[in-house]
Amino acid sequence: MYLPHLHNRTIPSLLLLSGCLLPVIAHADFVEDSQLSLETRNFYMNRDFRDNASGNHKAEDWGQGFMLRYNSGFTEGTVGFGVDALGLLGVKLDSGRGTSGTGALQVQKDGEVSDEFSFLGLTAKARFADSLLTVGTHAPTLPIAFRNDTRLLPQTFEGAQLVSKDVDNLTLTAGRFRGTRLRDSSDYQDMSMAAFAKDGGLVTGGKVSDRFNYAGASYAFMPNLIGTYFYAELEDNYNQHYTNLTHSLPLTEGLMLKSDIRYFDSNKEGNTTVDNRNLGAMFTLAYQGHALGFAYQDQSGKTGQPFIAGGTDPWALNTVTYHHFLRAQEDSWQIRYDYDFAAAGIPGLTLMTRYVRGENFEIGGAKAKEWERNLDLGYVIQSGPLKNLGLRWRNVAYRGSHTTDIDENRLIVGYTFKFW
């Protein structure tokens, strides 16, 4: 198994880790509060390019992933120290030159698919009261940096983050990422920007960067009303303000209205032309296992909304399985239906289907439109020797004018072993 050389930016993290780990092994809380688990994921993906006149007509990969996670407890004292570790291994089961490219398996410079690829990430942590400082490997689920976990192995970031919950109902978050390891990679690299220009191409003028700075706050005004604000900056590329309100309103017994309003304001830095405002709202009615939602997303400005390139998921409402619907000035709407079959006496079986349509944008100077349909069917076995084994089928259809149409299927089998 290949373990890549540690990136030079991880040295401060590892020095801190060593200083924390050696004196604390004897502390009971450090060991007794620790957790060790192994998540296994068998992942198959087939993407059919329906109208590709040149090049490959499909991308197809099948692999087996292993995600070993260790989380220690904390040492005793005013400041408690600990360490986390993440070990990732992806094994090719079937792929080859000419049909790879799903983002699930590592592709070498010569075009060949690696038989296996791996990664070891370490994170030092320190806890003071209800504040937690982490330095090293992160898998963020932040609205301005949401790691991608839709393939064989999850994306990770390297950096430092401080989260404070010392004030009731208030969560403060701040940090800096210095690099990202993509979902099909073994090592960290600098970050770059993805954003669409008005002509349909990508915004130019950006630079690779090892500085992604962010800070934000989330406050629960009431148990059912939460407000969030974040500011983020990918140095020499863009800065971004994010505001969000979520609210849950009981209408009658068993009937709930959920509201989610998100606003992004993104502007240029350096030599880029980033200029985007994105206002989206989603309203969902939930009743006895059913959930029916409708979303609308309005974009204005000279470009589409920017985000960290390489698979990072933009936290926009109409970012779905295949596409993100963030072309310059694109407006889009979504209708979504979810059903939990536990309400019908079949626990563990879930269904999600949605349709998204985008328009009012241009590609190559011509007016364009696009749509995507998703179907997600999942089942977690409830009893017997295969209890907690998860099965999932994801089906995608995407069509667009002046783009490549695709049909796609993903089959995922997952199970997590919890050692302690």
Do 335 and 294 form a contact (C-beta atoms < 8 A)?
A: yes
Query: SS3 sequence, 396-420?
Result: EEEEECCCCCEEEEEEEEEEEEECC
Phi, psi dihedrals of residue 206, rounded to the nearest 5°: -75, 165
One DSSP character per residue, 179-192 reads EEE-TT-SS-B-B-
Query: SS3 sequence, the chain?
Result: CCCCCCCHHHHHHHHHHHHHHHHHCCCHHHHHCCEEEEEEEEEEEEEEECCCCCCCCEEEEEEEEEEEEEECCCCCCCEEEEEEEEEEEEEEEECCCCCCCCCCCCECCCCCECCEEEEEEEEEEEEECCEEEEEEEECCEECCEECCCCCCCCCEEEEEEEEECCCCCEEEEEEEEEEEECCCCCCCECECEECECCCCCECCCCCCECCEEEEEEEEEEECCEEEEEEEEEECCCEEEEEEEEEEEEEEECCEEEEEEEEEEEEEECCCCCCEEEEEEEEEEEEECCEEEEEEEEEEECCCCCCEECCCCECCCCCCCCCCCCCCCCCEEEEEEEEEEHHHHCCCCEEEEEEEEEEEEEEECCEEEEEEEEEEEEEEECCCCCCCCCEEEEEEEEEEECCCCCEEEEEEEEEEEEECC
Calpha distance 384→382 (Å, rounded): 7
**139 CB burial (10 A radius; 0-12, 13-18, 19+):** middle
Domains of the chain: 190-418 (2.40.160.10)
**Which residues of the chain fall short of a pLDDT of 70?**
1-28, 52-55
Calpha distance 420→417 (Å, rounded): 9
What pLDDT, on a 0 to 100 scale, did the predictor assign at position 27?
60
What pLDDT, on a 0 to 100 scale, did the predictor assign at position 20?
46
What pLDDT, on a 0 to 100 scale, did the predictor assign at position 110?
84
What pLDDT, on a 0 to 100 scale, did the predictor assign at position 22?
43
What pLDDT, on a 0 to 100 scale, did the predictor assign at position 267?
98
What pLDDT, on a 0 to 100 scale, did the predictor assign at position 25?
45
